[in-house]
Every structure is written in structure tokens, then in C-alpha cells.
């Protein structure tokens, strides 16, 4: 990592360790908000019951929620 000039060795060492983050799946409210936003971006009117159905049945990740909104 000597290509990065002006950075102390201890900082370079810390950056090389990486970072650990505990990423939790989105809660119900966040899933609803994501789904509503995706439909709004697509200029699609979808009944609230459909949004709630998707939010209740797709709980994995934001990517899964986004994919489920279009299938």
C-alpha cells in the first residue's frame, strides 16, 4: 500500500482490516416505504392492500423486496 502517499502506516493497516457491520433486514414499515417508493417511481398506482401483502411476505432484503415489486 505504499502507493498511497501521505497516509500513516497505522491508518493504512486499519483500512486493510475492513469494517464489520451488522446489517439487519428492513422492518415492516421500511419494507412498505420501499415498495411504495418503487411503485411511485414507476408511476404505478397500486392498492395499499397489495403493498401490505408484498411487505408481509417478502422480508429478506431490499433487493428481494424491489424484485418482488415487479414480478
Which tens digits make up the pLDDT trace of 17-68? 877 788 888 999 999 999 999 999 999 999 999 999 999 998 887 788 777 7
Q: Which residue has the cell 497516509?
A: 7
Is the pLDDT at 1 greater than 50? The verdict is: no
Extended strands (E) in the chain: none
What is the per-residue burial (b if ≥16 Cβ within 10 Å, else e) of 51-64? Answer: beebbeebeeeeee
Least confidently predicted of 2-6, 10-14, 49-53: 2-6
Q: Shortest CA distance to 61 belongs to which of 34, 42, 21?
A: 34
pLDDT of 2 above 60: no
**Residue 10 Cα to chain centre, angstroms:** 32
Amino acid at each position: 500500500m505504499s502507493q498511497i502517499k501521505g497516509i500513516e502506516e497505522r491508518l493504512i493497516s486499519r483500512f486493510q482490516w475492513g469494517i464489520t457491520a451488522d446489517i439487519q433486514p428492513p422492518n415492516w414499515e421500511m419494507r412498505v416505504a420501499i415498495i411504495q417508493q418503487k411503485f411511485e417511481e414507476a408511476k404505478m398506482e397500486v392498492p395499499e392492500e397489495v403493498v401490505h401483502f408484498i411487505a408481509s411476505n417478502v422480508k429478506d432484503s431490499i433487493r428481494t423486496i424491489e424484485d418482488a415489486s415487479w414480478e
